[in-house]
Structure 1
């Protein structure tokens, strides 16, 4: 086994242990994880897009905004999450509208801010939030792992050769099937049954986790960057590791927002927001 592979395995085990421990305990520990992850993602996004050079004022504003949003995620009131994200993002939009700057600042604030907000909202404060978070993890990790191995074993037509040349349609389909199975397995253990809503949700999260992976690949290829950073030994950066996870969480959160608009329930105000958990 090569030194690099050993380093990757050790880093993956440590990272998984930290995430699962924070998820198990929930509360302040998980909110701290979500808030810090939001800051790390903004750091990597701005490093990739070179925002400090192209838009230094916006770059500083973004740090202030993400710091405030992360602080609210950790210590504040969940019902303020969306108003804060909306207000800071709309203000950031003034830079490209009035000053002719690019839109990478706005994109980074949404991506980083919504990452922490959606993770914290799914976990919530109740035990059911732990199961909901494990449900999302199982789908994303099963999709990612099986997509890699199925793609290598079967090969075939490329999924998006201009964005990520290594990904194939066979891998994407294999990953999606395994993601649905993993989500159904978690639901079966927790509920004792598997409903059509769970399977449909598992399918959606698996697909969007792969879209998240492709999205991050697009950003890195656009700026000719191999890794989002070198913060994780042997793995690159945090965006490289959580790209699929955060898109899956975005999907859950947006479903919850639509549900809230219909029922009046505020996402993140209680114990988890995933339907059926």
Structure 2
């Protein structure tokens, strides 16, 4: 009788282990399909908003996204008391106005900050003795988030700005997708494992190759005068977008966070979804107008 019970316990335990193993093996696939479904819903909405949405509606949604990103910054700094959180929101809104009023100067400073961010990523974790302070993280958020929003607004109002914005979105989306699929199929050599263990050189190369196809389509459509400038700008935009992703990864790692939030199924938070775009938009705008 005792032996029979023992066999049953072993069977139950074995079944639990199999289920757990199956769940772990399929967790990545489940997340991928969640991301795919979310993307299939969001992309048409974003395209409609850009081409057909009222400007006030667009401005309102961008402001809501900005405030949601500011809220996620509370965890990355971190800010735990409501008074600090409220004060941070007020300061960020003031920064959004100031960035619009002094955009050219803010853009130059922002690009310098991104160069410093790249150095911080390449020298991680040693860079944390300089960049790991909450005040430094708060200052970086103050400079870069308003710059992201104002760069979007300035790009939107350029001649062909709506089309250029959609081109940039697809350039980054396709790069992300190509990097994910290439890394999953062929990824063996880690990019910067101490920052983001899941990223590989194979993924980066695959993403760049696929994004160059989008750059070629964009070149055929917009017909810019300087072909070399167009493709170099596309390449630089993709590279800084990768570092944007890695920079948010550093901020999450120092706070022991997996995601910045849970607002977007399969993606995490607003900053998880927009990390590449936050870095890429200012550089892309600068390259177009330089």
TM-score (structure 2 length as normaliser)? 0.71
* Alignment match, 2:230: 198
Mean Cα deviation higher: 178-187 or 17-26: 17-26
User: Could you tell me which residue of structure 2 aligns to residue 251 of structure 1?
Assistant: 283
Equivalent positions of 1:154-165 (< 5 A) are: 154-165=186-197
Structure 2 SS opposite 1:217 = helix
Q: How does 1:34-183 map to 2 (within 5 A)?
A: 34-53=62-81, 59-70=85-96, 72=97, 78-81=100-103, 102-124=135-157, 126=159, 128-183=160-215
The Cα of 1:188 is off from its aligned counterpart by 0.7
Mapped to 1, the partners of 2:90 and 2:31 lie a distance apart of 36
The number of equivalent residue pairs is 238
Does residue 10 (structure 1) correspond to residue 30 (structure 2)? The answer is: no
The match for 2:51 among 7, 24, 44 is: 24
SS at match of 2:135: coil
Q: Structure 1 4/140 Cα, relative in aligned 2: closer, same or farther at 3 Å?
A: closer
Separation in 2 of the partners of 1:12 and 1:124? 25
Q: Which runs of 5+ in 2 are unaligned?
A: 1-25, 109-132
Call closer, same or farther: CA 1:155–1:84 in 2, change over 3 Å. Answer: closer
Which ranges in structure 1 are unaligned for 5 or more consecutive residues? Answer: 87-99, 257-273
- Distance apart, 1:101 and its partner CA: 6.4
Larger radius of gyration: 2
Deviation readout 1:93-113 (Å, 9 max, x if unpaired): xxxxxxx96322212212321
Aligned CA RMSD, in angstroms, stands at: 3.1
SS at match of 1:158: coil
Post-superposition shift, 1:181? Answer: 2.2
Deviation string, structure 1 residues 8-43 (Cα, Å, up to 9, x no partner): 433222322332222213633333333222211111
**Partner Cα distance (1:174, 1:101) in 2:** 35
Cα separation, 1, equivalents of 2:71 and 2:224? 42
**Pair 155,5 (structure 1): closer, same or farther in 2 beyond 3 Å:** closer
User: When the two structures are superposed, what TM-score results if normalisation uses the length of structure 1?
Assistant: 0.74
C-alpha change, 1:113 and 1:10, in structure 2 (3 Å) is same
